[in-house]
Amino acid sequence: MSYHIVDKEFRDFADDIEGVSIHYLCAPAGAEANWDRDRVTRFMPLVERGLRRLELKLPRQIVEPQTGRPTSHYTLFHYFEIFRSGDRQYSQIYAEIIDTGAKETASDASAPIRRPASRRSREIQ
Amino acid sequence: MREAAAGTVGWWKDEGGARYVAYRGAFRGSKLKLHYGFDGWREPIHEARLESAGPDFMIAEVGELDRHLAVDCAVTDGERWDNNSGVNYRLWIGFDALDAHMHMSGRGAGALGVQTLATAMASAGMVCGISSWLDNRALDQVDCAAARLFPLIWVRPGDTELDEVRARLHAGAVGLKLHPTVDGYPADDRALDPYIAITEEIGCPVACHSAPGEADPDHIRRLAQRFPSVPVIMYHTYLGPSEGRRRAARHVREQPNLYLETSWCCSDVVTGLVADVGPDRVLFGSDASIDGPSHYCRHPPNVEGRETYNDGLLKLVRGLGPNAARAVMGDNARRLFRLNGNSHG
């Protein structure tokens, strides 16, 4: 399966940051983010001092639920979870429009990433 | 005479084998009393005088130990209280409890810092624990032996260097930690094989997050099948709907090197898992101290919203009986991680 790759970076704003995770999901354009249902969490690896970077592998198309048709146009929501000095902090939630440019064919479309709800939405480990 | 156990409150035995509660905390003086109750502060509550027994600790005699499971306690000098930052102390009577699933991010003062974890452990009578963090370097900042923690190496296939794994295992790490969900790979990914081959060679286990998706028990079983001599522990026994838990238990029944760990499972669920797979295949764990110093006794309850760990463990230990409880609460982890004989094991 091919992906649409989006790079995300996080620059440490303090020396006592002990880890950063990114939480993200893809939603149809105009739809609200449903974090309990669609969340994906990934660790942000430190690629150089103070800089963390990760490639998000996003679907080339998602299914527009109202029409049932595939679309390459959707919203990516994400935020960072920052572990600092034993505590957790969260960034604001960012939203950006993604247009993968993929030809809209049903064979390449996937529903928004969904998985059974976890027992604990604030799980990390 | 035997030295008192490490920690602010612990057990101490005299030459004749009589057992006392030992206090090594900040309070000193002739007015100190141990304020205590049994099995979750059930009435009546008692007080016993603490008397000096050495240069840095005091002891109190506590009766009726054979009739109870745990002592819950605090210390007072008549005016002030040492109640472990408000979460009190617990000592298990029949065994040394070990938490097989903990996290510690370093020396920071927050919920995931080593001091908070120590407070939480003392509140639940955890003598030691197995700990990991998503950046292995965080554990380098901490004296794990002093904190009574046995570190796991967090492995990201293709990213973590094999030499680092070998070096950390030789330096005292007791196994590997896998988190397929957060690191984005299926738990049976072939890219894991070089890492698991090292554990096979050295003889240590692998602890793997289990949950819907990449960390599904079906994937974990396939990994365990490829390395039948390596114990593989399914952390959480599936952090998801009960169907997955049943499937995890079935895999453990059918695959001899698979084990269950019980963080975020209520006591009735754990009792059922032990009945299903046997007491030697289940390890108690809690994910401490994600919820801070009150991780084991938080209100509202944090285990499925209906039970605290401390309350649930009393039910579990009572229901299992002494031998099975000793296995689940520590002996299984000590056996799998080869901790017996270690100074803080």
The single residue listed with the structure tokens 């008192």 is B4
| CB contacts < 8 A (A, B) | 93
Instruction: Kindly state the average pLDDT of the residues A7-31.
Output: 95
Half-sphere exposure of B39 (CA within 13 A, CB side): 15
What is the tens place of the pLDDT at every residue in B261-320? 999 999 999 999 999 999 999 999 999 999 999 999 999 999 999 999 999 999 999 999
With CB atoms and an 8 Å threshold, state whether A118 touches B239: yes
- How far B341 CA lies from chain A's nearest CA (Å)? 29
- Most A CBs within 10 Å, among B99, B103, B112, to test the A interface: B112
Instruction: State residue A102's pLDDT score.
Output: 80
Instruction: Kindly state the average pLDDT of the residues B136-154.
Output: 92
Instruction: State residue A119's pLDDT score.
Output: 41
Instruction: State residue B141's pLDDT score.
Output: 85
% of chain B at pLDDT higher than 70 = 97
- Measure CB to CB from residue A85 to each of B110, B156, B239 and give the nearest one: B110
pLDDT surpassing 50 at residue B143: yes
- pLDDT band at B345, cuts 50/70/90? very low
Which residue on chain B is closest to A21 by alpha carbon?
B182
- A-chain residues near B112 (CB < 8 A): 18, 83, 86-88
Which of the 8 DSSP states describes residue B213? Answer: G
What is the tens place of the pLDDT at every residue in B223-240? 999 999 999 999 999 999
Instruction: State residue A120's pLDDT score.
Output: 43
% of chain B at pLDDT higher than 90 = 90
- How far A72 CA lies from chain B's nearest CA (Å)? 23
The total number of residues shown for chain A amounts to 125
Which of the 8 DSSP states describes residue B328? Answer: I
- B-chain residues near A42 (CB < 8 A): 182-184
Half-sphere exposure of B268 (CA within 13 A, CB side): 4
Q: Kindly list the distances between the CA atom of residue B202 and the CA atoms of A20, B230, B235, in Å, as whole numbers in the listed order.
A: 31, 10, 21
Q: Report which of A93, A95, A88 is spatially closest to residue A27, judged by C-alpha positions.
A: A95
Which residue on chain B is closest to A55 by alpha carbon?
B184
Instruction: State residue A109's pLDDT score.
Output: 53
Burial B227-247 (b: 16+ CB within 10 A, else e): beebbbbbbbbbbbeeebbbb
Instruction: Kindly state the average pLDDT of the residues B208-212.
Output: 97
pLDDT surpassing 90 at residue B343: no
- Measure CB to CB from residue B105 to each of A19, A41, A45 and give the nearest one: A19
Q: Kindly list the distances between the CA atom of residue A27 and the CA atoms of A76, A98, A101, A109, A112, in Å, as whole numbers in the listed order.
A: 7, 10, 16, 13, 6
With CB atoms and an 8 Å threshold, state whether A46 touches B103: no
A12 exposure class (CB count in 10 Å sphere: 0-12, 13-18, 19+):
middle
Phi, psi of B191 (to 5 degrees): -65, -15
Which residue on chain B is closest to A56 by alpha carbon?
B184
pTM for this one? Answer: 0.91
- A-chain residues near B110 (CB < 8 A): 84-88
Instruction: State residue A65's pLDDT score.
Output: 83
Chain-centroid distance of CA B1 in Å reads 28
What is the tens place of the pLDDT at every residue in A72-121? 999 999 999 999 999 999 999 999 999 998 876 655 555 544 444 444 44
- pLDDT band at B13, cuts 50/70/90? very high
ipTM value > 0.90? no
pLDDT surpassing 60 at residue B129: yes
- pLDDT band at B4, cuts 50/70/90? very low
- Measure CB to CB from residue A116 to each of B107, B209, B240 and give the nearest one: B240
Which residues of A make CB contacts under 8 Å with B? Answer: 16, 18-19, 21, 41-43, 45-46, 57, 83-88, 115-120, 122-125
Instruction: Kindly state the average pLDDT of the residues A32-51.
Output: 93
Higher-scoring residue by pLDDT: A95, A65:
A95
- pLDDT band at B2, cuts 50/70/90? very low
